[in-house]
Amino acid sequence: MTHQFHSTVLREYDIRGIIGETLGAEDARAIGRGFATLLRRAGGTKVAVGYDGRVSSPMLEHALVEGITGSGIDVVRVGMGPTPMLYYAEASMEDVQGGIQITGSHNPANYNGFKMVFMGRPFFGADILKLGEMAAAGDWLDGQGQAESREILVEYVDRLVEGLAGIPASNLDALRIGWDTGNGAAGPAVELLTQKLPGEHHLLFTQVDGTFPNHHPDPTEEKNLADLKALVAAKNLHFGLAFDGDGDRIGAIDGEGRVIWGDQLLMIYAEDLLRQVPGSTIIADVKASKALFDQVSALGGKPLMWKTGHSLIKSKMKETGAPLAGEMSGHVFFAHDYYGFDDALYAAIRLIAASSRLGKSVTELRGAMPAMVNTPELRFQVDESRKFAVVEEVKARLAASGATVNDTDGVRVDTADGWWLLRASNTQDVLVARAESLDQAGLDRLMAQIDAQLAASGLERGPQAGH
């Protein structure tokens, strides 16, 4: 028996497709067969499986479990919950050597996909392509694995609460916090978590609904934070927290309704962490503000700029032993007192802890940050066959001009006005640009440089550019 995946489904960091068009039960079954075969060959015996709140997730979970057991690996079903709950199951269950979460993350409601952990490390890139090769060849072991169910939500939430260890409850009793889970899979976990926390908590949209009736569950889009901003203002809350569809990315606003972007959250976490573990390496992706890297240096830490992508960041953390990393997109990774995976609920707890330990409100911490003028992520369509080539052309022209270029992931160019970035997306046929300056005039000059480079490669930043 063999299986052919749709050409768009096996991606760099995860597996993703449109239900009924490019992704269905047969794909899930083939993923299970391939993953289980690789795990058996590596000496593993058991996989944890979880799923998010999308309408299609139970169907995919059923087929995935059939595929895994059909290749002789046992399954621990942890049920519906956020992706980090599945990561926690994989990290904490001693008899489990792998994990798969069925999730469409922050994609539209008709999408779904898979995020995977293999023997304690991210499963991505060449690993995912291998599943396609194995399916095409029918290279699967046969067997008869067993499936069992385990309740892990309560244990997971209790572990999150440990992030406040050592902070007297009296320091937190006066806190008033808003939480918006956007009808995503983190809802029930946040309900349970807030019951166990000191302070006053106001919750929005915690009922899991895969049609996302209130707003799209992507906290990096400011329009999706409108309900949370209204709640914080109406109830006079200290700050608000938002989560994406599967709970591995965090968004936040302060008490004045200002967004605290991913790199700004990392500035707060870094200040707290470097007091506890001086001199630490802290990783952020190439889209992060220069203010973050400068702050880490000023606090005695070692800033490391790395490639965008949660799997790439996790791998770099393991390699460098960094206790903290983060991405502009709201993925935050704590290896300090935690497991090193991206968990937005744990990041929420660490924000509460950081504010308490630093003795400043979240609004004060946000207000103290340098006022930079920057663009959101600008994305524009480019033919898949051209996207990496354009970046190489830009790199060659910049090298010839003697510009100051960091080519960790695309090109990031430093000028007297600030910096600009151009990189190819690993998950879509788009180029991503971003620029940051101290003032609008500087930002305009940086954008003109980006436009000039695109024009030299026969492209323009048309009206489709947007966040």
Q: Which residues are catalytic?
A: 105
CB 242, CB 262: distance < 8 Å: no
Residue 307 structure tokens: 């490639």
5: number of Cβ within 10 Å:
20
Q: Report the first-to-last Cα separation within the chain, whole angstroms.
A: 43
CB 206, CB 50: distance < 8 Å: no
Residue 23's SS3 state is strand
Burial of 429 by CB count in 10 Å (0-12 exposed, 13-18 middle, 19+ buried)? middle
Residue 236 structure tokens: 């006079």
Of the CA atoms within 13 Å of residue 263, those in its CB half-sphere come to 24
Largest CA distance in the chain: 66
Residue type, 321: G
Can you tell me the distance from the alpha carbon of 396 to that of 388, in angstroms, rounded to the nearest whole number?
A: 13
Provide CB contacts within 8 A for 250, sequence distance 6+: 219, 241, 242, 243, 262, 265, 330, 332, 344, 347, 348
Burial of 221 by CB count in 10 Å (0-12 exposed, 13-18 middle, 19+ buried)? middle
List the one residue out of 191, 187, 31, 36 whose CA is nearest residue 102.
Answer: 31
CB 410, CB 422: distance < 8 Å: yes
Distance of CA 406 to the CA centre of its chain: 23
List the one residue out of 270, 304, 306 whose CA is nearest residue 286.
Answer: 306
Residue 405 structure tokens: 């270029």
Provide CB contacts within 8 A for 149, sequence distance 6+: 76, 77, 78, 79
Question: Phi/psi class of residue 381: alpha, beta or left (left: φ > 0; alpha: ψ in -120 to 50)?
Answer: beta
- Give the single-character DSSP code of 19: B
